[in-house]
Amino acid sequence: MSIEVKNINKSFESKKVDQLTVLKDVNLTIDDGELVCLLGPSGCGKTTLLRLIAGLDQPTSGEIIANGEKVSGPSGDRAVIFQQYSLFPWLTVLKNVTFGLEMTTGNSKEENIALAEEYLERVGLIEFKDSYPHELSGGMKQRVAIIRSLLNHSPILLMDEPFSALDMINRHKLQEQLIEVWQRFENTIVFVTHDVDEAVFLADKIVVMGRKPGRIDKIIEVGLERPRKRESKEFILLMESIVENLDMGELDKKSLE
């Protein structure tokens, strides 16, 4: 499923200033099956853009087209994986995973459970199927959340810094698993991050965003071959060139003068 973001503006009413412009004239096309990272410093509106694509918020002007239809509200076609843990605490892992299936398919209970168990087996979480979310580690919670969305066959996955709370080893492991999953299921993924390394590792296309007002500064096609190696020269060069141009750097320079 492709996504088209057309002339999006988003502003909030604010007490300090009359209006706070979070996104200004944002245009973006995301192709079917593409993995796109929205990269930028905090306050650049990357999460807002993701929420607009999800239909959880409405733009002030402009429109978003997902698979030929205008986005007007949340839908099972566009699953969101949040930064905060979002498993339902009163449901076991297995029941969390089957939640979406029960919402969107007419499958029997047995079919749903079989499917969920198959997926949990693949990512090595089957032994936790009867555990509750509070019994899992942060990384496991996010893996379950991802499976929950994948199983639902959401053609679009919208991920809002899902790995930012994890330690580096777990983060790298989950990034690799995400790539595997994406290659198998061919979803379209929009991944919000402020971590340049993460963006270069994951993305087909990096959308570099700037702030005040939130906008798209640059779109970088990442041509690196997969699986990507962090220690390769191309990887490091690309990272450096992005870091140099990040809005964050400019602001820091100004504040120093």
Residues near another protein (CB under 8 A) are 54, 56, 73-76, 78-80, 82, 84, 86, 88-90, 99-100, 103-104, 132, 134, 145, 148-149, 152, 154, 158
Q: What is the nearest approach in angstroms of another protein to the Cβ of residue 137?
A: 17
Quick one: 19 or 88, whose CB is closer to another protein? 88
Q: What is the nearest approach in angstroms of another protein to the Cβ of residue 54?
A: 6
CA angle, 10 as apex, 9 and 14 as ends, to 5°? Answer: 140
Is the separation of the CB atoms in 81 and 158 below 8 Å?
Answer: yes
Quick one: 101 or 246, whose CB is closer to another protein? 101
Q: What is the nearest approach in angstroms of another protein to the Cβ of residue 256?
A: 38
The helix (H) or strand (E) run that includes residue 47 is helix 46-54
Distance CA 161, CA 82 (A): 7
Q: Is the dihedral of CA 108, 136, 79, 150 positive or negative?
A: negative
Q: What is the nearest approach in angstroms of another protein to the Cβ of residue 131?
A: 12
Quick one: 112 or 222, whose CB is closer to another protein? 112
Q: Are strands 3-13 and 19-30 parallel, antiparallel or unpaired?
A: antiparallel
Any bridge partners for residue 209, and if so which? 216
Quick one: 155 or 210, whose CB is closer to another protein? 155
Q: What is the nearest approach in angstroms of another protein to the Cβ of residue 242?
A: 29
Buried b (16+ CB within 10 A) or exposed e, 86-99: bbeeeebbbbbbbb
Quick one: 9 or 105, whose CB is closer to another protein? 105
Q: What is the nearest approach in angstroms of another protein to the Cβ of residue 71?
A: 12
Quick one: 78 or 171, whose CB is closer to another protein? 78
Is the separation of the CB atoms in 37 and 198 below 8 Å?
Answer: yes
Any bridge partners for residue 15, and if so which? none
